[in-house]
Chain A
Protein backbone atom coordinates (compact mmCIF):
# COMPACT_ATOMS: atom_id res chain seq x y z
CA UNK A 1 0.00 0.00 0.00
CA UNK A 2 1.39 3.44 -0.89
CA UNK A 3 2.30 5.79 1.89
CA UNK A 4 -0.47 8.16 2.92
CA UNK A 5 1.01 11.61 2.92
CA UNK A 6 -1.07 14.24 4.59
CA UNK A 7 -0.78 17.98 4.11
CA UNK A 8 1.84 17.59 1.41
CA UNK A 9 3.49 20.75 0.22
CA UNK A 10 3.70 21.36 -3.47
CA UNK A 11 7.07 20.34 -4.91
CA UNK A 12 9.57 23.16 -5.36
CA UNK A 13 10.41 24.83 -8.60
CA UNK A 14 12.08 22.77 -11.27
CA UNK A 15 10.32 19.56 -10.31
CA UNK A 16 8.99 19.18 -13.84
CA UNK A 17 12.60 18.87 -14.99
CA UNK A 18 13.45 15.81 -12.94
CA UNK A 19 10.03 14.25 -12.57
CA UNK A 20 9.90 12.12 -15.77
CA UNK A 21 13.26 10.49 -15.09
CA UNK A 22 12.44 9.81 -11.45
CA UNK A 23 9.05 8.35 -12.34
CA UNK A 24 10.68 6.19 -14.93
CA UNK A 25 13.24 4.87 -12.45
CA UNK A 26 10.54 4.32 -9.87
CA UNK A 27 8.56 2.22 -12.29
CA UNK A 28 11.63 0.17 -13.03
CA UNK A 29 12.25 -0.25 -9.33
CA UNK A 30 8.72 -1.54 -8.82
CA UNK A 31 9.26 -4.00 -11.61
CA UNK A 32 12.51 -5.19 -10.07
CA UNK A 33 10.86 -5.56 -6.68
CA UNK A 34 8.07 -7.70 -8.08
CA UNK A 35 10.28 -9.89 -10.22
CA UNK A 36 10.43 -13.55 -9.27
CA UNK A 37 13.50 -15.26 -7.92
CA UNK A 38 13.23 -18.21 -10.23
CA UNK A 39 16.47 -19.30 -11.87
CA UNK A 40 18.48 -16.85 -9.83
CA UNK A 41 20.95 -17.52 -7.12
CA UNK A 42 20.06 -16.48 -3.59
CA UNK A 43 22.38 -13.50 -3.66
CA UNK A 44 21.42 -12.46 -7.15
CA UNK A 45 17.80 -11.62 -6.45
CA UNK A 46 18.51 -8.23 -4.82
CA UNK A 47 21.08 -7.04 -7.33
CA UNK A 48 18.68 -5.13 -9.62
CA UNK A 49 17.22 -3.27 -6.63
CA UNK A 50 20.68 -2.16 -5.53
CA UNK A 51 21.54 -1.11 -9.05
CA UNK A 52 18.40 1.02 -9.49
CA UNK A 53 18.86 2.58 -6.07
CA UNK A 54 22.37 3.59 -7.09
CA UNK A 55 21.17 4.94 -10.41
CA UNK A 56 18.44 7.04 -8.86
CA UNK A 57 20.70 8.58 -6.24
CA UNK A 58 23.36 9.14 -8.87
CA UNK A 59 20.90 11.09 -11.01
CA UNK A 60 20.01 13.51 -8.19
CA UNK A 61 23.68 13.78 -7.19
CA UNK A 62 24.69 14.69 -10.74
CA UNK A 63 21.86 17.20 -11.12
CA UNK A 64 22.71 19.03 -7.92
CA UNK A 65 26.45 18.63 -7.21
CA UNK A 66 27.90 18.25 -10.68
CA UNK A 67 25.68 20.06 -13.18
CA UNK A 68 24.06 22.41 -10.64
CA UNK A 69 20.83 22.12 -12.60
CA UNK A 70 18.45 21.98 -9.63
CA UNK A 71 18.01 24.17 -6.61
CA UNK A 72 18.88 23.34 -3.02
CA UNK A 73 15.16 23.19 -2.14
CA UNK A 74 14.43 20.67 -4.84
CA UNK A 75 17.45 18.58 -3.83
CA UNK A 76 16.31 18.53 -0.21
CA UNK A 77 12.80 17.67 -1.34
CA UNK A 78 14.05 14.69 -3.41
CA UNK A 79 16.13 13.40 -0.50
CA UNK A 80 13.18 13.75 1.88
CA UNK A 81 10.83 11.99 -0.51
CA UNK A 82 13.25 9.07 -0.74
CA UNK A 83 14.36 9.51 -4.34
CA UNK A 84 17.99 9.93 -3.28
CA UNK A 85 20.00 8.25 -0.57
CA UNK A 86 21.66 10.97 1.50
CA UNK A 87 24.19 8.63 3.11
CA UNK A 88 25.33 7.27 -0.24
CA UNK A 89 25.67 10.78 -1.71
CA UNK A 90 27.68 11.84 1.33
CA UNK A 91 30.14 9.01 0.57
CA UNK A 92 30.39 10.01 -3.12
CA UNK A 93 31.63 13.44 -2.09
CA UNK A 94 34.65 11.88 -0.33
CA UNK A 95 37.97 11.12 -1.98
CA UNK A 96 38.28 7.46 -2.91
CA UNK A 97 34.55 6.81 -2.79
CA UNK A 98 33.57 8.64 -5.98
CA UNK A 99 32.14 5.53 -7.65
CA UNK A 100 30.94 3.57 -4.63
CA UNK A 101 28.27 1.05 -5.59
CA UNK A 102 26.37 0.65 -2.33
CA UNK A 103 26.81 1.17 1.39
CA UNK A 104 26.86 -2.52 2.18
CA UNK A 105 30.09 -2.97 0.27
CA UNK A 106 32.01 -0.67 2.63
CA UNK A 107 30.65 -2.18 5.84
CA UNK A 108 33.64 -3.99 7.43
CA UNK A 109 31.45 -5.66 10.02
CA UNK A 110 29.76 -7.70 7.30
CA UNK A 111 33.06 -9.22 6.18
CA UNK A 112 34.95 -12.22 7.52
CA UNK A 113 38.21 -10.39 8.03
CA UNK A 114 36.95 -6.85 8.73
CA UNK A 115 37.81 -5.66 5.23
CA UNK A 116 35.80 -4.16 2.41
CA UNK A 117 34.11 -5.82 -0.51
CA UNK A 118 36.03 -7.30 -3.46
CA UNK A 119 34.46 -4.72 -5.76
CA UNK A 120 36.38 -1.97 -3.94
CA UNK A 121 39.72 -3.47 -5.03
CA UNK A 122 41.32 -1.63 -7.98
CA UNK A 123 41.42 -3.62 -11.22
CA UNK A 124 45.20 -3.59 -11.47
CA UNK A 125 45.56 -5.19 -8.06
CA UNK A 126 43.32 -8.09 -8.98
CA UNK A 127 44.33 -11.15 -10.97
CA UNK A 128 44.53 -10.70 -14.71
CA UNK A 129 41.30 -11.40 -16.61
CA UNK A 130 39.40 -12.15 -13.47
CA UNK A 131 35.81 -10.96 -13.43
CA UNK A 132 34.44 -10.38 -9.96
CA UNK A 133 30.81 -9.87 -9.12
CA UNK A 134 30.39 -8.88 -5.52
CA UNK A 135 27.97 -10.86 -3.44
CA UNK A 136 26.01 -7.91 -2.07
CA UNK A 137 25.02 -5.95 -5.14
CA UNK A 138 26.62 -7.64 -8.14
CA UNK A 139 29.08 -4.78 -8.62
CA UNK A 140 31.98 -5.56 -10.91
CA UNK A 141 34.35 -2.98 -9.51
CA UNK A 142 33.74 0.49 -8.09
CA UNK A 143 37.25 1.58 -7.13
CA UNK A 144 38.17 5.19 -7.91
CA UNK A 145 40.58 5.99 -10.70
CA UNK A 146 40.80 4.69 -14.28
Chain B
Protein backbone atom coordinates (compact mmCIF):
# COMPACT_ATOMS: atom_id res chain seq x y z
CA UNK B 1 0.00 0.00 0.00
CA UNK B 2 1.39 3.37 -0.96
CA UNK B 3 1.68 5.49 2.13
CA UNK B 4 3.20 8.41 0.36
CA UNK B 5 1.52 11.68 1.16
CA UNK B 6 -0.45 10.27 4.08
CA UNK B 7 -0.63 12.63 6.96
CA UNK B 8 1.40 11.92 10.07
CA UNK B 9 1.19 14.77 12.57
CA UNK B 10 2.33 15.36 16.12
CA UNK B 11 -0.26 17.84 17.27
CA UNK B 12 -3.81 18.69 16.18
CA UNK B 13 -5.01 22.08 14.91
CA UNK B 14 -7.94 22.78 17.20
CA UNK B 15 -9.69 25.79 18.67
CA UNK B 16 -9.86 26.86 22.29
CA UNK B 17 -13.48 25.79 22.73
CA UNK B 18 -12.82 22.27 21.51
CA UNK B 19 -9.87 21.88 23.88
CA UNK B 20 -11.97 22.79 26.90
CA UNK B 21 -11.22 24.93 29.95
CA UNK B 22 -8.53 22.71 31.48
CA UNK B 23 -5.00 23.62 30.39
CA UNK B 24 -3.84 20.04 30.95
CA UNK B 25 -5.38 17.76 28.35
CA UNK B 26 -4.57 14.10 27.82
CA UNK B 27 -4.86 13.02 24.23
CA UNK B 28 -4.67 9.74 22.41
CA UNK B 29 -3.22 9.60 18.94
CA UNK B 30 -3.94 7.12 16.19
CA UNK B 31 -1.96 7.27 12.99
CA UNK B 32 -3.97 7.04 9.78
CA UNK B 33 -6.97 6.26 11.97
CA UNK B 34 -9.77 7.40 9.65
CA UNK B 35 -10.30 9.11 6.36
CA UNK B 36 -10.66 12.86 6.35
CA UNK B 37 -14.33 13.82 6.14
CA UNK B 38 -13.52 16.49 3.57
CA UNK B 39 -10.84 15.08 1.25
CA UNK B 40 -11.03 11.38 2.11
CA UNK B 41 -7.31 10.84 2.72
CA UNK B 42 -6.15 9.00 5.86
CA UNK B 43 -5.06 11.28 8.68
CA UNK B 44 -3.96 11.16 12.31
CA UNK B 45 -6.82 11.09 14.80
CA UNK B 46 -6.41 12.84 18.14
CA UNK B 47 -8.97 12.21 20.84
CA UNK B 48 -9.39 13.94 24.18
CA UNK B 49 -11.94 14.86 26.83
CA UNK B 50 -12.56 18.62 27.06
CA UNK B 51 -13.49 18.67 30.75
CA UNK B 52 -15.80 16.95 33.22
CA UNK B 53 -19.27 16.19 31.96
CA UNK B 54 -18.29 16.73 28.34
CA UNK B 55 -18.17 14.23 25.50
CA UNK B 56 -14.89 13.00 24.03
CA UNK B 57 -13.87 15.00 21.01
CA UNK B 58 -11.72 13.94 18.09
CA UNK B 59 -10.30 15.50 14.98
CA UNK B 60 -12.59 15.09 11.98
CA UNK B 61 -10.69 16.49 9.02
CA UNK B 62 -7.04 16.36 8.03
CA UNK B 63 -4.54 19.11 8.74
CA UNK B 64 -4.17 20.10 5.10
CA UNK B 65 -7.90 20.71 4.80
CA UNK B 66 -7.83 22.62 8.08
CA UNK B 67 -4.93 24.79 6.93
CA UNK B 68 -6.49 25.52 3.54
CA UNK B 69 -9.48 27.13 5.25
CA UNK B 70 -7.80 28.03 8.55
CA UNK B 71 -10.38 26.10 10.55
CA UNK B 72 -10.39 23.89 13.62
CA UNK B 73 -9.89 20.22 12.79
CA UNK B 74 -12.79 19.28 15.05
CA UNK B 75 -15.52 21.90 14.79
CA UNK B 76 -14.64 23.31 11.32
CA UNK B 77 -15.07 26.87 12.58
CA UNK B 78 -12.59 29.62 11.86
CA UNK B 79 -9.57 29.48 14.16
CA UNK B 80 -9.27 33.20 14.74
CA UNK B 81 -12.89 34.24 15.10
CA UNK B 82 -14.74 31.00 15.81
CA UNK B 83 -17.19 31.72 13.00
CA UNK B 84 -18.48 29.44 10.22
CA UNK B 85 -16.41 29.63 7.04
CA UNK B 86 -19.36 30.97 5.09
CA UNK B 87 -19.66 33.98 7.38
CA UNK B 88 -15.94 34.64 7.31
CA UNK B 89 -15.67 34.29 3.54
CA UNK B 90 -18.65 36.56 2.81
CA UNK B 91 -17.36 39.28 5.12
CA UNK B 92 -13.78 39.05 3.88
CA UNK B 93 -14.99 38.52 0.31
CA UNK B 94 -12.66 35.60 -0.36
CA UNK B 95 -13.54 32.98 -2.92
CA UNK B 96 -13.86 29.28 -2.16
CA UNK B 97 -11.21 27.93 -4.52
CA UNK B 98 -11.18 24.34 -3.27
CA UNK B 99 -12.46 22.14 -6.12
CA UNK B 100 -15.39 19.88 -5.25
CA UNK B 101 -14.81 17.05 -7.73
CA UNK B 102 -12.62 14.17 -6.62
CA UNK B 103 -9.64 14.30 -8.96
CA UNK B 104 -9.39 18.07 -8.98
CA UNK B 105 -9.60 18.19 -5.22
CA UNK B 106 -6.87 15.58 -4.83
CA UNK B 107 -4.61 17.50 -7.18
CA UNK B 108 -5.34 20.79 -5.42
CA UNK B 109 -4.68 19.37 -1.96
CA UNK B 110 -1.47 17.66 -3.05
CA UNK B 111 -0.13 20.77 -4.76
CA UNK B 112 -1.08 23.08 -1.94
CA UNK B 113 0.28 20.79 0.78
CA UNK B 114 3.92 21.39 -0.13
CA UNK B 115 3.64 25.15 -0.16
CA UNK B 116 1.62 25.52 3.01
CA UNK B 117 4.08 24.54 5.73
CA UNK B 118 2.64 26.04 8.89
CA UNK B 119 0.71 28.84 7.18
CA UNK B 120 -2.88 28.96 6.06
CA UNK B 121 -4.36 29.99 2.72
CA UNK B 122 -6.58 32.57 4.37
CA UNK B 123 -4.69 35.82 4.75
CA UNK B 124 -6.27 38.09 7.33
CA UNK B 125 -3.64 40.79 6.99
CA UNK B 126 -4.67 41.37 3.39
CA UNK B 127 -8.30 41.86 4.32
CA UNK B 128 -9.26 45.40 5.09
CA UNK B 129 -9.61 46.44 8.68
CA UNK B 130 -13.35 47.19 8.58
CA UNK B 131 -14.08 43.61 7.56
CA UNK B 132 -11.89 42.36 10.40
CA UNK B 133 -13.65 44.69 12.81
CA UNK B 134 -17.00 43.35 11.66
CA UNK B 135 -15.90 39.75 12.12
CA UNK B 136 -14.69 40.57 15.60
CA UNK B 137 -18.04 42.10 16.41
CA UNK B 138 -20.00 39.08 15.19
CA UNK B 139 -17.80 36.55 16.95
CA UNK B 140 -18.15 35.36 20.50
CA UNK B 141 -15.92 36.90 23.13
CA UNK B 142 -15.61 33.80 25.30
CA UNK B 143 -15.32 30.15 24.33
CA UNK B 144 -18.66 28.40 24.05
CA UNK B 145 -18.21 25.19 26.02
CA UNK B 146 -21.82 24.12 25.63
CA UNK B 147 -20.74 22.85 22.22
CA UNK B 148 -18.78 20.06 23.94
CA UNK B 149 -21.77 18.61 25.78
CA UNK B 150 -22.70 14.96 25.17
CA UNK B 151 -25.02 14.22 22.30
CA UNK B 152 -28.72 13.65 22.86
CA UNK B 153 -29.57 10.03 23.72
CA UNK B 154 -31.27 8.59 20.66
CA UNK B 155 -32.91 5.86 22.74
CA UNK B 156 -34.41 8.47 25.04
CA UNK B 157 -35.87 10.27 22.04
CA UNK B 158 -37.52 7.00 20.98
CA UNK B 159 -38.69 6.61 24.56
CA UNK B 160 -36.82 3.39 25.32
CA UNK B 161 -33.53 4.27 27.06
CA UNK B 162 -33.04 1.66 29.74
CA UNK B 163 -29.84 3.05 31.20
CA UNK B 164 -31.51 5.77 33.22
CA UNK B 165 -29.12 7.77 35.38
CA UNK B 166 -26.09 5.84 34.15
CA UNK B 167 -26.68 6.95 30.57
CA UNK B 168 -23.77 9.19 29.53
CA UNK B 169 -25.87 10.85 26.82
CA UNK B 170 -28.19 13.78 27.38
CA UNK B 171 -31.80 12.93 28.15
CA UNK B 172 -33.47 15.77 26.28
CA UNK B 173 -35.75 16.03 23.32
CA UNK B 174 -34.08 17.57 20.27
CA UNK B 175 -35.20 20.99 19.08
CA UNK B 176 -36.32 20.61 15.49
CA UNK B 177 -35.53 23.75 13.51
CA UNK B 178 -33.56 24.81 10.46
CA UNK B 179 -30.31 24.38 12.41
CA UNK B 180 -30.81 20.64 12.85
CA UNK B 181 -29.78 19.80 9.28
CA UNK B 182 -26.07 20.46 8.96
CA UNK B 183 -23.31 18.50 7.35
CA UNK B 184 -19.59 18.90 7.70
CA UNK B 185 -18.75 19.15 4.00
CA UNK B 186 -21.19 21.98 3.38
CA UNK B 187 -20.00 23.77 6.48
CA UNK B 188 -16.39 23.41 5.36
CA UNK B 189 -17.03 24.70 1.84
CA UNK B 190 -19.38 27.40 3.10
CA UNK B 191 -22.47 26.30 1.18
CA UNK B 192 -25.96 25.82 2.65
CA UNK B 193 -24.79 26.38 6.18
CA UNK B 194 -27.87 27.20 8.27
CA UNK B 195 -25.82 28.58 11.16
CA UNK B 196 -23.93 30.94 8.86
CA UNK B 197 -27.18 31.93 7.20
CA UNK B 198 -28.65 32.85 10.55
CA UNK B 199 -25.61 34.89 11.60
CA UNK B 200 -25.53 36.73 8.28
CA UNK B 201 -29.26 37.48 8.46
CA UNK B 202 -28.80 38.91 11.90
CA UNK B 203 -25.94 41.19 10.91
CA UNK B 204 -27.63 42.27 7.67
CA UNK B 205 -30.69 43.31 9.55
CA UNK B 206 -28.79 45.16 12.21
CA UNK B 207 -26.59 46.99 9.76
CA UNK B 208 -29.59 49.10 8.75
CA UNK B 209 -31.40 50.04 11.90
CA UNK B 210 -34.21 52.34 10.87
CA UNK B 211 -35.48 54.95 13.23
CA UNK B 212 -39.09 54.40 14.21
CA UNK B 213 -41.78 56.55 12.65
CA UNK B 214 -43.42 57.29 15.93
CA UNK B 215 -41.79 60.51 17.08
CA UNK B 216 -42.86 59.95 20.66
CA UNK B 217 -40.33 57.13 21.10
CA UNK B 218 -37.33 58.54 22.91
CA UNK B 219 -36.07 55.42 24.64
CA UNK B 220 -33.24 53.01 23.83
CA UNK B 221 -33.25 49.30 24.53
CA UNK B 222 -29.88 47.80 25.51
CA UNK B 223 -29.11 44.09 25.70
CA UNK B 224 -26.09 42.33 27.14
CA UNK B 225 -25.96 44.20 30.45
CA UNK B 226 -23.89 41.95 32.68
CA UNK B 227 -23.86 42.17 36.47
CA UNK B 228 -20.73 44.32 36.64
CA UNK B 229 -22.32 47.16 34.65
CA UNK B 230 -24.27 49.41 37.00
CA UNK B 231 -26.88 52.05 36.32
CA UNK B 232 -24.29 54.71 37.09
CA UNK B 233 -21.99 53.39 34.36
CA UNK B 234 -24.78 53.69 31.82
CA UNK B 235 -25.73 57.14 33.05
CA UNK B 236 -22.11 58.32 32.81
CA UNK B 237 -21.87 57.09 29.26
CA UNK B 238 -25.23 58.12 27.87
CA UNK B 239 -25.38 61.50 29.59
CA UNK B 240 -23.12 62.88 26.85
CA UNK B 241 -25.85 62.67 24.20
CA UNK B 242 -28.52 64.68 26.00
CA UNK B 243 -30.69 64.89 29.05
CA UNK B 244 -31.78 61.52 30.42
CA UNK B 245 -35.26 61.22 31.85
CA UNK B 246 -34.80 57.80 33.46
CA UNK B 247 -32.75 54.61 33.31
CA UNK B 248 -34.25 51.23 34.01
CA UNK B 249 -31.92 48.25 34.41
CA UNK B 250 -33.37 44.73 34.53
CA UNK B 251 -30.53 42.62 35.91
CA UNK B 252 -32.40 39.35 35.60
CA UNK B 253 -32.81 39.49 31.83
CA UNK B 254 -29.60 41.52 31.29
CA UNK B 255 -31.35 44.40 29.56
CA UNK B 256 -31.73 48.11 30.24
CA UNK B 257 -33.93 50.97 29.01
CA UNK B 258 -32.69 54.51 28.69
CA UNK B 259 -35.36 57.18 28.33
CA UNK B 260 -34.21 60.50 26.93
CA UNK B 261 -36.05 63.74 27.41
CA UNK B 262 -35.86 64.68 23.74
CA UNK B 263 -36.05 62.78 20.50
CA UNK B 264 -32.92 64.47 19.15
CA UNK B 265 -30.83 63.19 22.04
CA UNK B 266 -32.09 59.66 21.52
CA UNK B 267 -31.32 59.79 17.79
CA UNK B 268 -27.84 61.09 18.46
CA UNK B 269 -27.23 58.34 21.03
CA UNK B 270 -28.38 55.62 18.62
CA UNK B 271 -26.27 56.90 15.75
CA UNK B 272 -23.17 57.01 17.92
CA UNK B 273 -23.58 53.76 19.81
CA UNK B 274 -25.32 51.42 17.39
CA UNK B 275 -23.13 48.34 16.78
CA UNK B 276 -20.33 50.22 18.47
CA UNK B 277 -20.79 50.15 22.22
CA UNK B 278 -18.37 48.69 24.69
CA UNK B 279 -18.60 49.36 28.40
CA UNK B 280 -16.11 47.67 30.73
CA UNK B 281 -15.09 45.32 27.94
CA UNK B 282 -18.66 44.06 27.42
CA UNK B 283 -20.29 44.37 24.05
CA UNK B 284 -23.71 45.94 24.41
CA UNK B 285 -26.29 45.98 21.65
CA UNK B 286 -28.40 49.09 21.23
CA UNK B 287 -31.87 49.16 19.71
CA UNK B 288 -34.74 51.57 19.64
CA UNK B 289 -37.28 51.07 22.36
CA UNK B 290 -40.83 50.06 21.51
CA UNK B 291 -43.81 52.33 22.02
CA UNK B 292 -45.84 51.53 25.09
CA UNK B 293 -48.46 49.03 23.97
CA UNK B 294 -51.80 50.78 24.12
CA UNK B 295 -53.88 47.91 25.30
CA UNK B 296 -57.05 47.31 23.29
CA UNK B 297 -58.46 45.85 26.42
CA UNK B 298 -58.45 49.15 28.27
CA UNK B 299 -60.24 50.84 25.35
CA UNK B 300 -62.89 48.16 25.30
CA UNK B 301 -63.35 48.33 29.00
CA UNK B 302 -63.99 52.03 28.68
CA UNK B 303 -66.65 51.43 26.02
CA UNK B 304 -68.30 48.57 27.86
CA UNK B 305 -68.55 50.39 31.14
CA UNK B 306 -71.82 51.95 30.01
CA UNK B 307 -73.52 48.62 29.16
CA UNK B 308 -72.34 47.02 32.38
CA UNK B 309 -71.31 43.75 30.74
CA UNK B 310 -68.02 42.14 31.78
CA UNK B 311 -67.56 40.05 28.62
CA UNK B 312 -64.97 41.96 26.61
CA UNK B 313 -65.35 39.66 23.61
CA UNK B 314 -68.87 40.89 22.91
CA UNK B 315 -68.74 44.52 21.90
CA UNK B 316 -72.47 44.80 21.36
CA UNK B 317 -73.31 43.34 24.76
CA UNK B 318 -75.63 40.47 25.45
CA UNK B 319 -74.69 36.76 25.59
CA UNK B 320 -71.88 35.53 23.29
CA UNK B 321 -73.16 34.11 20.01
CA UNK B 322 -72.83 30.34 19.44
CA UNK B 323 -69.77 29.49 17.27
CA UNK B 324 -70.44 29.25 13.54
CA UNK B 325 -69.20 26.45 11.24
CA UNK B 326 -66.24 28.58 10.13
CA UNK B 327 -65.20 29.13 13.73
CA UNK B 328 -65.29 25.39 14.36
CA UNK B 329 -63.18 24.61 11.29
CA UNK B 330 -60.60 27.22 12.09
CA UNK B 331 -60.51 26.35 15.77
CA UNK B 332 -57.05 25.17 16.91
CA UNK B 333 -56.78 21.55 18.08
CA UNK B 334 -57.37 20.99 21.80
CA UNK B 335 -54.32 21.16 24.06
CA UNK B 336 -52.77 17.83 25.10
CA UNK B 337 -54.02 16.25 28.32
CA UNK B 338 -52.30 17.73 31.37
CA UNK B 339 -50.58 14.51 32.44
CA UNK B 340 -48.17 14.23 29.50
CA UNK B 341 -46.11 17.36 29.20
CA UNK B 342 -44.23 16.70 25.98
CA UNK B 343 -44.59 14.49 22.93
CA UNK B 344 -42.39 11.46 22.49
CA UNK B 345 -43.33 10.92 18.86
CA UNK B 346 -44.16 13.36 16.10
CA UNK B 347 -47.41 11.49 15.54
CA UNK B 348 -48.52 12.32 19.07
CA UNK B 349 -48.47 16.00 18.27
CA UNK B 350 -52.09 16.94 17.41
CA UNK B 351 -50.94 20.07 15.57
CA UNK B 352 -49.03 17.93 13.08
CA UNK B 353 -51.94 15.74 12.07
CA UNK B 354 -52.89 17.39 8.84
CA UNK B 355 -55.38 19.84 10.30
CA UNK B 356 -54.07 22.75 8.31
CA UNK B 357 -55.64 26.06 9.25
CA UNK B 358 -56.95 27.41 5.97
CA UNK B 359 -58.20 24.16 4.43
CA UNK B 360 -61.76 23.87 3.17
CA UNK B 361 -63.72 20.84 4.26
CA UNK B 362 -67.09 21.77 2.90
CA UNK B 363 -68.18 20.48 -0.48
A interface residues, Cβ below 8 angstroms from B: 39, 112-113, 127, 131-133
Contact = CB atoms under 8 A, between A and B. Distances in A.
A108 to B, nearest CB: 14
Contacts of A133: 166
Contacts of A112: 26, 28
B165 A131 contact: yes
B166 A127 contact: no
Interface in B157-172: 162, 165-166
Contacts of A39: 162
Contacts of A127: 52-53
10 contacts: A39-B162, A112-B26, A112-B28, A113-B26, A113-B28, A127-B52, A131-B165, A131-B166, A132-B166, A133-B166
| Contact-residue bracket for chain B | under 10
Nearest to A140: B166
A26 to B, nearest CB: 29
Contacts of B166: 131-133
A23 B60 CA distance: 53
Interface string B245-278: 0000000000000000000000000000000000
A132 B166 CA distance: 7
Nearest to A39: B162
Given A112-B28, A113-B26, A127-B52, 8 more contacts: A39-B162, A112-B26, A113-B28, A127-B53, A131-B165, A131-B166, A132-B166, A133-B166
Nearest to B28: A112
Contacts of B165: 131
A44 to B, nearest CB: 10
Contacts of B53: 127
A7 B52 CA distance: 58
A104 B212 CA distance: 71
B5 to A, nearest CB: 29
Contacts of B162: 39
A51 B162 CA distance: 20
Interface in B46-76: 52-53
A5 B55 CA distance: 52
**3 shortest interchain CB distances as A-B pairs:** A131-B166, A131-B165, A133-B166
A94 to B, nearest CB: 27
Interface in B7-25: none
Contacts of B52: 127
A132 B163 CA distance: 11
Interface string B150-189: 0000000000001001100000000000000000000000
A46 B139 CA distance: 49
B171 to A, nearest CB: 13
Contacts of B28: 112-113
Contacts of A113: 26, 28
Task: From A127, A131, A132, A133, name the one whose CB has the most chain B CB atoms within 10 angstroms.
Answer: A131
A61 B229 CA distance: 66
A113 B49 CA distance: 12
A113 B165 CA distance: 26
Nearest to A138: B166
A45 B166 CA distance: 16
Task: From B53, B162, B165, B166, name the one whose CB has the most chain A CB atoms within 10 angstroms.
Answer: B166
